[in-house]
Every structure is written in C-alpha cells, then in structure tokens.
Amino acid sequence: MTLSTGSLPTAAAFNEQLIRRAFWIGCVAICSSAFAFGAVYPWAYWPVASICAISGALALIALRRSVNVGISRSLAIALALVLSAAALQLVPLPMRALNAISPHASYILRELYPDEALGLSRAHSLSISPSATWMALALYGSLVVFLAGFSCVLSVIHPRRFVEALTVAGVLMALCGIIQNSLGSERIYGFWTPEMAGAQSFGPFVNKNHFAGWILLVLPVTLGLFLAGLDKALAYRRGWRDRLLWFSSTEANRLALLGAAVLVMGLSLVLTMSRSGITALAVAVLMCAGYVAIRARTHARSGVATIYLAVLVVTLAGYVGTDAIAAHFSKINWSEFNNRRGVWIDTLNIARDFPVAGAGLNAFQSADLIYQRHNLEQHFSASHNDYLQLLAEGGVLLTVPIVFALLIAARDIARRFHGTRGTTAWWLRAGAVTALLAISLQELVDFSLQIPANAVLFAAVCALAFHRAPERRDTAPGAAKRVTVFSTGHSSIR
C-alpha cells in the first residue's frame, strides 16, 4: 500500500501506522502459531490469542470512523450472539434450575467432582467444565476481534499483499514437512517429541491431519492469486510475440513462483497421506476448475489455467504414486469410518442428554469420560466431527446462533462477490471461499479447527472472504486505484 502522507493530518497518518502494524502483527500471529507446534500448548496459544486481539484492536481503533470496511454490522451482531450464548453456559444456576434445563447434569457432575458427589454445591453452571468453557470463550473472543479488525485491514491494504505473505509462510511450512518426511523422523524440528501418545507428527504439527488442515487453508488462496495473475496476463496480451516477450517479464516470474508454491504445498499435503486432507484438496482443485470455466472469457485463458490444474493433479499423484494413494484409502474400515463411528455415537448420546444448553463449550473431553462406550483402548479428547461436537457442547442454545451467523456470513460473501467482478479481489475471494469449504469438508471427520494455529488462520481467511475493498475493474496492467480509506475524506493510492 502506497500512501501519500504529506498532505494528510497527523491523526490520519497515525491511523495509517496503526493499520500497517495491525497487518504485520496479524501475520506474526498466523506464522508464529503455526510454527510453534500449532500452538497446542498453553505457553503458545495464550500469547497467540493476545497477539490476535492486539492486531484486531489496533485496526478497529484506526478505522473506527471509516465506512464500508470490515465485516457487516449484522455479522458482528451474529458473532456477538454466539459469544453471549457461550457466556450463558458459565452463569451459575441453582441445582433445581440446572436439572430442569439439563436433567443429566447432576449425575455427570457427581461423577466428575467430589464436592458435587458430597452434595456440598448448591449451584453450578450449565457447562460441566467451566474452566474449559472459559478458555474456549477467551480464545473465541480474541479471534472475533481479530476477524473484525483484520477484515478492516484487508479493506485498506490490498489483500494481494496478505496472500503473498501467506504464500511464503505456506512454502516454509511445506518444506518443513517434506524434509521431515524424507528423513523419516518422528521428532518435530528434529528434537521435539510430541507429548501426545501415538501422535503422527508432520512438519511443525503434532498431527498430520492438522498439518493438512493448515495447508488446506493456504493453498486455495495462493491458487486464487495465481489464477488471477494468469487471467490478467492473458487479458492484455495480443499475438504470440507479446506473449513470448511476457515470459521474460517480472510478472511472468512472479506467476511461476506462485505456481511452484502451489505445487510444493500440494506435495506436502499429499505426503501426509491424510485421507481427509487429500479428499478436501481434490474438491478444492475441482472448485478452482469450476471458477476457471465460469470466469474465463476466452478459450486461451481457460485452456492455460485448466492445463496447469491438470499438471498439478498429475504431478502430485505421480510423485506419491496413485497405487500408494489408492492402497492407503483401501485400508479404511468404511463401516466404522476408521474407528470414528463409535465416538460419533458417543457424541450423539451427549447431545441427546443435553439438548437445550449442551454440555458446555469445549467440555467434550470431560463429558466423554462418562459417555465413552466405544474404542475403550483410548480416550477421545474430540469427537472427530466438529459439527457433532458443537451440537453436543452447545445444544440449541449455541447451535441456533451459530447457524444464524453462518447464514449471515454466506449472504455477505455472496454480496462481496458481486462487488468485485473482474478484479484480482474476486479471485482472492474465490480462493478464500474454496479454502473455507475445503476445511469445512475435512471437519466432517476431523477437528483441525480446534488447533489454535488453524483457528487463527481460519479467522484470517474469513477476513479475506469478508473484506470489502472498493476496487474498480482492472483496465490496464498496473493501473492505480483510488479508494476511500478514512472518513475524513482523504484517500490512498494502491
């Protein structure tokens, strides 16, 4: 973002500094959380949550008087309703009222807490594990602030800058995984042994599926930037001479690097042999092919993009081996969904006994101590299906506002698409939506979004999907765009 600060008042220049700092602090939160073992340990996720809150708060302070930036007011209200519903689970209630809302709560509490078993407690919250719910509430609150603020940042700073930074982090992450896989080491960075028994680490992440989830959030966004550059490059080149000369340009080199970055990240994901990750990646590539078919105005544009996507798929499958991938998928016990069916049944039993207010946000691990009836050789800390787990933990109290927020979010994203036709922002938004849908598909059989690093990145990708930068249609390569930044009437050139 190039800003002309010479004629701006001191307050506006100060706000611009806050926006820049919010941007880089947000990038630090995303990268540090990922490389700090996914921020699954308290020493990592509490600092990351604080950094996210600071980034979001700085942006909201800088753009507090701005218009047409960030998430919509209706979405902010919906997210606040989710926060309020989760907070209600922490309100202490008399035992009689608690039993009326959650009849099975007394039995669970007596099993979990000695004072409850002795009848020493006269009140308890709806959550069977208030400390776990408090933690989830604090982390969720920091991510909401980060989402609201970072969407404002991306409405001022061109989102391409963020995607480029994210691509660099994605390539470094992928290389960590590829190198570790080639060495056959089970230790993260060669020295850290995960505390979780039986963990299948990959790269900096304790679990390979969670690594795949992080890559799923980055790769489609980078692919969107690549397709945007390809679409723009082909739009302004007429004749073979211009196109041949273009290959020696800086723009061509940049596209080549983006294409290679997508390939490296895709290779790292396939090497995890995460079935959910590979399946979601295949869906993401198909969605991008659909975007190409819809947006391409000439056969040349659609043909080049389609060829690249085909080469991407063939290269990834060929490097690992289609036989190896097929054999890995054939090992699944489909009747048990790879030992997930049992924990899903246990989760549904919790949801059945706590239909109104749920067992408490982030309280599944405590509830499953009592409800687990399947796969007793290990204890499940998550249900391996975040949708079922939210139903069990939140009941109607939390599920209704979440569904409402999702509907508002879908409406807002659809509106943003119409406002950015023919621009790079359209492709970046398409990449963000693809990433969100890909991770949503993986959540059917896993819990990647419960990993703090993935949750932070998810919030940032949501900000990319929600941002509403007032861009104009590209009319020439490198054309400048004048956009309103502050309500003071001053503007910036991108």
CA distance 287 to 433: 10
Which of the four pLDDT bands, split at 50, 70 and 90, describes residue 478?
very low
Average pLDDT, the chain: 85
User: How large is the average pLDDT for residues 87-102?
Assistant: 93
Q: What is the pLDDT of residue 286?
A: 94
Domain ranges of the chain: 72-90+125-141+156-462
Neighbouring-strand partners of residue 492? 483
Q: What is the pLDDT of residue 200?
A: 82
- Of residues 389 and 14, more confidence is placed in 389
* pLDDT exceeds 70 at position 1: no
Q: What is the pLDDT of residue 329?
A: 85
* pLDDT exceeds 90 at position 301: no
| Digit-coded pLDDT (tens) for 162-196 | 999 999 999 999 999 999 988 887 788 888 877 76
Q: What is the pLDDT of residue 320?
A: 85
CA distance 451 to 386: 12
| Digit-coded pLDDT (tens) for 321-335 | 888 888 888 887 777
* pLDDT exceeds 70 at position 299: no
- Of residues 458 and 241, more confidence is placed in 458
Q: What is the pLDDT of residue 242?
A: 66
* pLDDT exceeds 70 at position 475: no
| Digit-coded pLDDT (tens) for 395-422 | 999 999 999 999 999 999 998 887 666 6
Percent of the chain with pLDDT over 70: 85
Question: What is the 3-class SS of the chain, one letter each residue?
Answer: CECCCCCCCHHHHHHHHHHHHHHHHHHHHHHHHHHCHHHCCHHHHHHHHHHHHHHHHHHHHHCCCCCCCCCCHHHHHHHHHHHHHHHHCCCCEEHHHHHHHCCCHHHHHHHHCHHHHCCCCCEECCCCCHHHHHHHHHHHHHHHHHHHHHHHHHCCCCHHHHHHHHHHHHHHHHHHHHHHHHHCCCCECCCECCCCCCCCCECCECCHHHHHHHHHHHHHHHHHHHHHHHHHHHHCCCHHHHHHHHCCCHHHHHHHHHHHHHHHHHHHHHHCCCHHHHHHHHHHHHHHHHHHHHHCCCHHHHHHHHHHHHHHHHHHHHHHCHHHHHHHHHCCCCCCCCCCHHHHHHHHHHHHHCCCCCCCCCCHHHHHHHHCCCCCCCCCCCCCCHHHHHHHHHHHHHHHHHHHHHHHHHHHHHHHHHHCCCCHHHHHHHHHHHHHHHHHHHCCCCCHHHCHHHHHHHHHHHHHHHCCCCCCCCCCCCCCCEEECCCCCCEEEC
pTM as predicted: 0.90
| Digit-coded pLDDT (tens) for 234-265 | 765 556 666 666 667 788 889 999 999 999 99
- Of residues 130 and 66, more confidence is placed in 130
User: How large is the average pLDDT for residues 451-468?
Assistant: 95
Percent of the chain with pLDDT over 90: 56
